[in-house]
Chain A
Amino acid sequence: MTPDLKVTIAGVEFANPIMTASGCCGYGEELAQIFPLSRLGALVTKSITRHPRLGHPPPRTAETASGMLNAIGLANVGIDAFLADKIPFLTKQKTRIIVNVAGSKLTEYVEICARLNECERVDMIELNISCPNVDEGGMEFGSDPMMTEKSVAAVRKVFSRPVIAKLSPNVTSIAQIALAAEQGGADAVSIINSLVGTSVDIETWRPKLTNNKGGLTGPAIKPVALAMVEAVHASRCRLPIIGVGGIADYRDVVEFMLCGATAVQVGTSLFVDPSGPVKMVKGLSAYLKKKKLGAASDLIGKVRKYGT
């Protein structure tokens, strides 16, 4: 018997729990050259802002031990060009489409989400209230519970389909922020965005990124992401969790689901193996079979913690 890989978040069914992470696959066009996007549970787009953004000058990335720092600077085409040029391609893809939204003012988030609401093909939006790399990148919204609740509530009013809040790990209590997102009316949370970090060239004494700091991603942050997923799952917050951070193969997917994630997003590892998600879907299926489990959803939150 083939295990059932389907998962459901806020009433929306996904073919499998593997999604791409925002900012790691553009608008899907390049990845579609590598594998049919129908193999994904969902494609999550790069952050869309009100106006086009060129992004930061290079260098924008630096390799670290088991990971990388990036400060791309929310480079994107802006909502007008996104709707005109990118949505037609995305519409043809046989996968769920989640559009990530960023802004510098609450009115920008609201305006973008109102326009995305008109576009039926957009299954969900994911609010980037956690970008560490631009002053106006939303982290101020996501590092304060009141602001989190307020921004989610404002967007909730103009977008009729599910809203995901993507949370920052650069906070004292991520569970508190997740609760605030729930109170604001979010339907799910993505945990985590990148961790603030930096790196310096010892010859030139310059930071390795022109932004002086960046977001750490990749396998290096997986243990942090897992602990935060688990913390939110164990909290009073009842929202479904999408786990993000250093996921590179099906074993990582299983770990995140055991810690409470309903689905996962794959980001930095796409840079190493762009066809990774396809392998993860196969690997997850084989794992469930081996464990004699009928469905991927049987894994959610089943970690057997000590002392409980």
Chain B
Amino acid sequence: MTKPTCEDTFVIKKRNLGNDYYSLTFAPYPRVEACRPGHFVHILLASTDVPFRRAFSIAGTDPENQTLEIIFKVFGRGTRLLSSLVKGDTVNLLGPLGVPFRLPGRNQRTIIVAGGIGYPPLLYLAVEMVRRGYTPGSIEFFYGGRSAADILDSRRIKRLGVNFHPVTEDGSLGQKGLITEPVERFILDSGTAGLRIYGCGPEGMLKATDGLGLKYGIPGQISVEAPMPCGTGICLGCVVPLVKGGYARVCCDGPVFALGEIAL
């Protein structure tokens, strides 16, 4: 396990990605080298309105420039406050936290299933795989949202050279429907040999992805979220039920779990 630390860092870049979606880049973040896809950081905003930290999957890092990026949608008090930060503002990051994704074998094919705002850790995963020399053509990046406006940064994914499959419920971009439909078609067309699935997104999508893995015997991992007071495993607040019974802490037993592990 990577030892987490609290570090003050600065907002160096803020981008509105349309609607309520934002990207924030922090630097210098001295723990960049320890970050892996699937890790998250716990951000302190230091406001009486938002007394506790907020957990965000890491969307990407640049070790050379010591930057760390998160991508989020404004949803409540914490994300609203975060979206109001400007270049130069200070935040405190506790991290890196959690169990990261286990990268697939070199000769395996990867299906990435990103639903809505579950996209950031999977973007990081795809970027890291390409950086480490995985063949981009062996990565199928499925990205689903309600409409085109919910598919963020598609150019960034295309630039990686991976096979990009946008899916929208209203058909405004890519295939129309739910993301798991084209994923299942792909599995049936390509066969299951050497496949690995990685998913993150809303609960219904995770459940369907988990189901596909079990149905076709494809191993893989999903990243889940939960309201999380501490992030370090001490408060026992962020638990999810396990298939075998009992609970696991999302913050330190996860947030990445094997398919079939969580009772979704």
Q: Find out whether the CB atom of B235 lies under 8 angstroms from the CB atom of A271.
A: yes
Knowing A34-B232, A58-B226 touch, does A275 contact B237 (C-beta < 8 A)? no
A270 within 8 A of B: yes
B117 to chain A, nearest CB (A): 19
Q: Find out whether the CB atom of B239 lies under 8 angstroms from the CB atom of A55.
A: yes
Give CA–CA (A60, B238) in the complex, Å: 7
From A55, A65, A219, A274, give the contact of B234 (CB < 8 A): A274
Q: Find out whether the CB atom of B239 lies under 8 angstroms from the CB atom of A25.
A: no
The interface residues of chain B lying within 8 Å CB-to-CB of A63 are 50-52, 227, 229
B187 to chain A, nearest CB (A): 31
Q: Find out whether the CB atom of A60 lies under 8 angstroms from the CB atom of B239.
A: yes
A75 within 8 A of B: yes
Q: Find out whether the CB atom of B247 lies under 8 angstroms from the CB atom of A271.
A: no
Q: Which residue of B lies closest to A54 (CB)?
A: B246
A216 to chain B, nearest CB (A): 12
B1 within 8 A of A: yes
The interface residues of chain A lying within 8 Å CB-to-CB of B48 are 65-66
Q: Find out whether the CB atom of A34 lies under 8 angstroms from the CB atom of B52.
A: no
Knowing A61-B229, A271-B229 touch, does A55 contact B51 (C-beta < 8 A)? no
B55 to chain A, nearest CB (A): 12
A218 within 8 A of B: yes
Q: Find out whether the CB atom of B4 lies under 8 angstroms from the CB atom of A61.
A: no
Give CA–CA (A46, B229) in the complex, Å: 17
A6 to chain B, nearest CB (A): 26
Give CA–CA (A274, B94) in the complex, Å: 9
A2 to chain B, nearest CB (A): 26
Q: Find out whether the CB atom of B235 lies under 8 angstroms from the CB atom of A70.
A: yes
Give CA–CA (A59, B6) in the complex, Å: 26
A33 within 8 A of B: yes
Q: Mark B121-157, 1 if CB is under 8 A from A, else 0.
A: 0000000000000000000000000000000000000
The interface residues of chain A lying within 8 Å CB-to-CB of B236 are 26, 55, 60, 72, 75
The interface residues of chain B lying within 8 Å CB-to-CB of A66 are 48, 51
Q: How many residues of A contact B (CB 8 A)?
A: 32
User: Which residues of B from 205 to 264 have beta carbons under 8 Å from A?
Assistant: 226-227, 229-241, 245-247, 252
B185 within 8 A of A: no
Q: Which residue of A lies closest to B247 (CB)?
A: A54
Q: Find out whether the CB atom of A30 lies under 8 angstroms from the CB atom of B247.
A: no
Give CA–CA (A67, B5) in the complex, Å: 23
A89 to chain B, nearest CB (A): 14
B109 within 8 A of A: no
User: Which residues of A from 13 to 40 have beta carbons under 8 Å from B?
Assistant: 24-26, 30-31, 33-34
Q: Find out whether the CB atom of B51 lies under 8 angstroms from the CB atom of A60.
A: no
From B4, B6, B49, B230, give the contact of A271 (CB < 8 A): B230
The interface residues of chain A lying within 8 Å CB-to-CB of B94 are 274
A68 within 8 A of B: yes
B206 to chain A, nearest CB (A): 15
Q: Find out whether the CB atom of B239 lies under 8 angstroms from the CB atom of A271.
A: no
Give CA–CA (A267, B6) in the complex, Å: 18
Q: Find out whether the CB atom of A61 lies under 8 angstroms from the CB atom of B227.
A: yes
A247 to chain B, nearest CB (A): 14
Q: Find out whether the CB atom of B3 lies under 8 angstroms from the CB atom of A271.
A: no
From B232, B239, B245, give the contact of A30 (CB < 8 A): B232
Q: Find out whether the CB atom of B241 lies under 8 angstroms from the CB atom of A68.
A: no
B246 to chain A, nearest CB (A): 5
Q: Find out whether the CB atom of A24 lies under 8 angstroms from the CB atom of B235.
A: yes
Give CA–CA (A271, B51) in the complex, Å: 10
The interface residues of chain A lying within 8 Å CB-to-CB of B44 are 272-273
Which of A31, A55, A60, A268 has the most B CB atoms < 10 Å from its CB? A60
A57 within 8 A of B: yes
Q: Find out whether the CB atom of A68 lies under 8 angstroms from the CB atom of B238.
A: no
Which of A61, A67, A70, A219 has the most B CB atoms < 10 Å from its CB? A61
B196 within 8 A of A: no
Which of A26, A272, A273 has the most B CB atoms < 10 Å from its CB? A272
B77 to chain A, nearest CB (A): 8
B53 within 8 A of A: yes
From A31, A55, A218, A275, give the contact of B6 (CB < 8 A): A275
A97 to chain B, nearest CB (A): 16
Which of B226, B229, B239, B252 has the most A CB atoms < 10 Å from its CB? B229
Give CA–CA (A58, B240) in the complex, Å: 7
The interface residues of chain B lying within 8 Å CB-to-CB of A31 are 232, 234
Q: Which residue of B lies closest to A61 (CB)?
A: B237
Residues of A within 8 A of B (CB): 24-26, 30-31, 33-34, 54-55, 57-63, 65-68, 70, 72, 75, 218-219, 268, 270-275
Q: Which 8 A-B pairs have the closest CB atoms?
A: A61-B237, A271-B230, A30-B233, A271-B229, A72-B236, A25-B234, A60-B237, A30-B234
Other contacts beyond A272-B51, A274-B230: 8, CB < 8 A: A33-B4, A34-B4, A54-B246, A58-B238, A65-B49, A68-B51, A271-B52, A271-B230
Some 17 contacts from A to B, beta carbons below 8 A apart, are A24-B235, A26-B236, A30-B234, A34-B3, A57-B241, A60-B236, A61-B229, A63-B50, A67-B51, A68-B51, A70-B237, A72-B236, A72-B237, A270-B230, A270-B234, A271-B53, A273-B6
